[in-house]
């Protein structure tokens, strides 16, 4: 007798063989790709975007604040006005919060730019006191226009600039 009972569930040979395909992005995309629908863009009206414009400052420029502070503190004008005095002046007169880093940065940049342009003078270095720069006379501008190069003058009047030969010295006889 045969002990093997054939049941439809128990026989592994009854399953059909499935062919496996290698998976790759190209083969999968090519086989399952459907034509994409192109969207037609309707003409849209240009909607104006809101631009955040910075509100104008309620105080004058930082250079003007520094100039005004130096002018108000005549007792410190000789040695210069300290930065703490400048900060206190801006807080009291213009109600500017000087504890904010942005305001300190703007004050320091105004002082440095003013020093580079010759508006302010920093007698004790970049982090020291601030003075107004002394006014420069305008005489230097006039002298530049009057000057004529010496090469042009020599070419115009060569007789004025004759070169002289050095004086001749007598040679002394050598001792015997």
Identify the pLDDT of residue 154. Answer: 65
Q: Is the pLDDT of residue 149 over 90?
A: no
Q: Is residue 164 part of a domain?
A: no
Tally the domains of the chain.
Answer: 1
Q: Is residue 32 part of a domain?
A: no
Q: Is residue 116 part of a domain?
A: yes
Identify the pLDDT of residue 173. Answer: 78
Phi and psi based region of residue 17 (left: phi greater than 0; alpha: psi -120 to 50; beta: remaining)? beta
Helix (H), strand (E) at residue 22: none
Q: For residue 88, report the phi and psi dihedrals to the nearest 5 degrees.
A: -65, -40
Identify the pLDDT of residue 76. Answer: 87
Burial of residue 107 (CB within 10 Å: 0-12, 13-18, 19+) is buried
Report which of 62, 153, 56 is spatially closest to residue 112, judged by C-alpha positions. Answer: 62
Distance CA 161, CA 166 (A): 15
Per-residue confidence band for 174, with pLDDT thresholds at 50, 70 and 90:
confident
Identify the pLDDT of residue 17. Answer: 63
Q: Is residue 55 part of a domain?
A: no
DSSP 33: -
Q: Structure pTM? A: 0.48
Q: Is residue 71 part of a domain?
A: yes
Q: Is residue 111 part of a domain?
A: yes
pLDDT tens digits, 44-93: 666 667 766 666 778 899 999 999 999 999 898 889 999 999 999 999 99
pLDDT tens digits, 12-38: 555 566 666 666 556 555 555 565 666
Chain-centroid distance, C-alpha 114: 17
Domain that holds residue 120: 62-132
The CA-based angle 90-91-94, given to 5 degrees, is 65
Per-residue confidence band for 106, with pLDDT thresholds at 50, 70 and 90:
very high
Average pLDDT for the chain: 76
Domain containing 108 — which CATH number? 1.10.10.10
């Amino acid at each position: 007798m045969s002990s093997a009972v054939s049941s439809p569930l128990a026989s592994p040979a009854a399953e059909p063989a499935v062919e496996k395909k290698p998976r790759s992005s190209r083969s999968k995309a090519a086989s399952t790709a459907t034509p994409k629908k192109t969207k037609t863009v309707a003409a849209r009206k240009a909607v104006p975007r809101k631009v955040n414009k910075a509100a104008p400052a309620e105080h004058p420029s930082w250079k003007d604040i520094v100039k005004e502070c130096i002018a108000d503190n005549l007792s410190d004008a000789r040695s210069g006005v300290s930065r703490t005095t400048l900060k206190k002046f801006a807080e009291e007169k213009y109600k500017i919060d000087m504890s904010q880093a942005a305001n300190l940065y703007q004050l320091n940049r105004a002082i440095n730019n003013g020093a580079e342009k010759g508006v302010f003078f920093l007698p004790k270095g970049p982090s020291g006191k601030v003075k107004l720069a002394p006014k420069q006379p305008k005489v230097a501008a006039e002298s530049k226009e009057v000057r004529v190069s010496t090469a042009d003058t020599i070419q115009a009047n060569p007789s004025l600039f004759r070169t002289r030969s050095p004086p001749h010295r007598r040679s002394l006889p050598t001792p015997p």
